[in-house]
């Protein structure tokens, strides 16, 4: 039974018990009063009479009326007290789970994010509230875990270039290295790596906060994809691979061309690094609600366990991946951030014939 029905039934029962007790007691009390007024006792015996009975009868009637009212009030008070005890018992049974929820909320506010209400198995509104509360607590626990992991990842990412800068400058100052441009270039390269990490984190943070500025305009895809493929052509050729762009004909989308270029470039860079020496295809195809831009490679693909996480910040499907090669580990996270800012959706999957594919589904006109 739902909590609403239980409370309604409890209040109705309290009212019925009070009214019933008064109704049951009233006939006996009123009957006794009439009997006394008629000059008889409770057994019908005579009460006496005679001269002077008039004033005495009036006083007697007033006393009987007073006794009757007192008796009725007493019965009503007793019935109300009994009904109140019943109501208290019902209120206590209702308030107990709410008290438990309050204690759990206080524990979570104190940092114990693993606490749960223990009310999820109930079938009433309190159970529904408990399940919603537990879902919220689980979400907070997941967010806190993600925050801790993110801070650890940021520290890890910043530590490597900072260590290289510190070691190189110390070696130069201590005379271990000569004061030449080669070591200055190493320091500059690591400083730029730090700058890229900071810029990428700022882009992701602004996108997640909904304040990433976009200059939306009709953007033809043919020249955009061709320019990006040309920019990465040399990098792909250096690994023995290639980049092919399917003809997107007259497809166009309403987007920020620079941000869209950044997202597609991140997908191409990811394909070149993880599928070197393989053909890479960039394809734009119309969809009923917009346009899909897809990047496919011929590499080893992505482990099934890693697929749901590839767009997370700093996620490493390959723990041995070398970050000194210039990657910040934020490329796919930026793709997601830019797609979200455009109201687009993204996805990743393995190709049945081998390789992986990533796509961005942009809303709007396909022509």
Please report whether residue 330 resides in a domain.
yes
77 and 18 belong to one structural domain: yes
24 and 159 belong to one structural domain: no
pLDDT band, residue 281 (cuts 50/70/90): very high
Residue that terminates a domain, selected from 208, 230, 258: 208
Please report whether residue 100 resides in a domain.
yes
222 and 357 belong to one structural domain: yes
Residue-wise pLDDT for 63-118, tens only, equals 666 666 676 667 667 766 766 676 667 667 766 777 788 888 888 888 888 888 88
Structure confidence at residue 120 (pLDDT): 78
CA 27-33-38 angle, to 5 degrees, is 125
Whether pLDDT at 323 is above 50: no
94 and 185 belong to one structural domain: no
Hey, what are 145's tokens?
């875990």
Q: Are 270 and 358 in contact (CB under 8 A)?
A: yes
Residue 163: give its domain's CATH number: 1.10.287.130
Whether pLDDT at 336 is above 80: yes
226 and 333 belong to one structural domain: yes
Most confident of 58-62, 95-99, 305-309: 305-309
Q: Are 173 and 307 in contact (CB under 8 A)?
A: no
Residue-wise pLDDT for 126-178, tens only, equals 778 888 888 888 888 877 776 777 676 677 667 777 888 888 888 888 888 78
Please report whether residue 228 resides in a domain.
yes
Residue 251: give its domain's CATH number: 3.30.565.10
Q: Cα 317 to the chain's mean position, in Å?
A: 25
Structure confidence at residue 43 (pLDDT): 43
Structure confidence at residue 87 (pLDDT): 65
pLDDT band, residue 185 (cuts 50/70/90): confident
Arithmetic mean of pLDDT, 12-33: 66
Domain residue limits at 102: 3-109
Please report whether residue 259 resides in a domain.
yes
Please report whether residue 97 resides in a domain.
yes
236 and 358 belong to one structural domain: yes
Whether pLDDT at 52 is above 60: no
Arithmetic mean of pLDDT, 292-309: 88
DSSP conformational letter for 308:
G
For the whole model, what pTM was predicted? 0.57
100 and 15 belong to one structural domain: yes
Residue that terminates a domain, selected from 153, 187, 208: 208
Whether pLDDT at 334 is above 90: no
Please report whether residue 159 resides in a domain.
yes
225 and 357 belong to one structural domain: yes
Q: Are 91 and 85 in contact (CB under 8 A)?
A: no
194 and 285 belong to one structural domain: no
242 and 326 belong to one structural domain: yes
188 and 243 belong to one structural domain: no
What whole-number distance in Å separates Cα of residue 224 and Cα of residue 120?
53
Cα R_g (the chain), whole angstroms = 41
Arithmetic mean of pLDDT, 16-38: 65
Q: Which of 5-9, 82-86, 107-111, 212-216 is the least confident region?
A: 5-9
Please report whether residue 335 resides in a domain.
yes
Residue 99, helix vs strand vs coil? helix
158 and 58 belong to one structural domain: no
More confident residue, 123 or 234: 234
Q: Which of 19-28, 109-118, 179-188, 323-332 is the least confident region?
A: 323-332
Tell me how many domains the chain contains: 3
Most confident of 3-17, 170-184, 261-275, 327-341: 261-275
Please report whether residue 324 resides in a domain.
yes
């Amino acid at each position: 039974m739902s909590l609403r029905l239980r409370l309604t039934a409890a209040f109705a029962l309290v009212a019925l018990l009070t009214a019933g007790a008064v109704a049951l007691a009233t006939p006996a009390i009123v009957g006794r009063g009439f009997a006394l007024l008629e000059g008889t006792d409770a057994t019908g015996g005579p009460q006496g009479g005679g001269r002077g009975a008039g004033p005495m009868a009036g006083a007697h009637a007033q006393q009987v009326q007073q006794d009757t009212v007192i008796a009725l009030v007493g019965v009503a008070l007793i019935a109300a007290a009994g009904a109140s005890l019943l109501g208290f018992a019902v209120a206590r049974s209702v308030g107990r789970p709410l008290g438990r929820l309050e204690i759990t909320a206080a524990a979570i506010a104190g940092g114990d994010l693993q606490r749960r209400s223990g009310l999820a198995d109930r079938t009433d509104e309190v159970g529904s509230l408990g399940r919603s509360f537990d879902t919220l607590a689980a979400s907070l626990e997941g967010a806190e875990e993600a925050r801790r992991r993110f801070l650890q990842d940021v520290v890890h990412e910043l530590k490597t270039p900072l260590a290289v800068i510190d070691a190189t400058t110390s070696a130069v100052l201590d005379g271990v290295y000569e004061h030449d441009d080669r070591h200055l270039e190493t320091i500059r390269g690591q400083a730029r790596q730090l700058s890229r990490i900071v810029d990428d984190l700022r882009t992701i943070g602004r996108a997640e906060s909904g304040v990433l500025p976009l200059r939306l305009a009709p953007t033809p895809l043919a020249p955009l994809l061709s320019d990006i493929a040309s920019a990465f052509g040399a990098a792909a050729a250096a690994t023995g691979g290639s980049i092919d762009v399917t003809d997107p004909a007259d497809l166009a989308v309403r987007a920020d061309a620079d941000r869209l270029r950044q997202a597609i470039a991140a997908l191409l860079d990811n394909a070149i690094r993880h599928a070197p020496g393989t053909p890479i295809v960039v394809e734009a195809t119309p969809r009923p609600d917009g346009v899909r831009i897809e990047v496919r490679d011929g590499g080893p693909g992505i482990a099934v366990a890693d697929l749901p996480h590839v767009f997370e910040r700093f996620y490493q499907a390959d723990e041995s991946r070398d970050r000194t090669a210039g990657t910040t580990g934020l490329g796919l996270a930026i793709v997601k951030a830019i797609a979200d800012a455009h109201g687009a959706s993204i996805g990743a999957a393995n190709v049945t014939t081998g390789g992986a594919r990533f796509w961005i589904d942009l809303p709007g006109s396909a022509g």
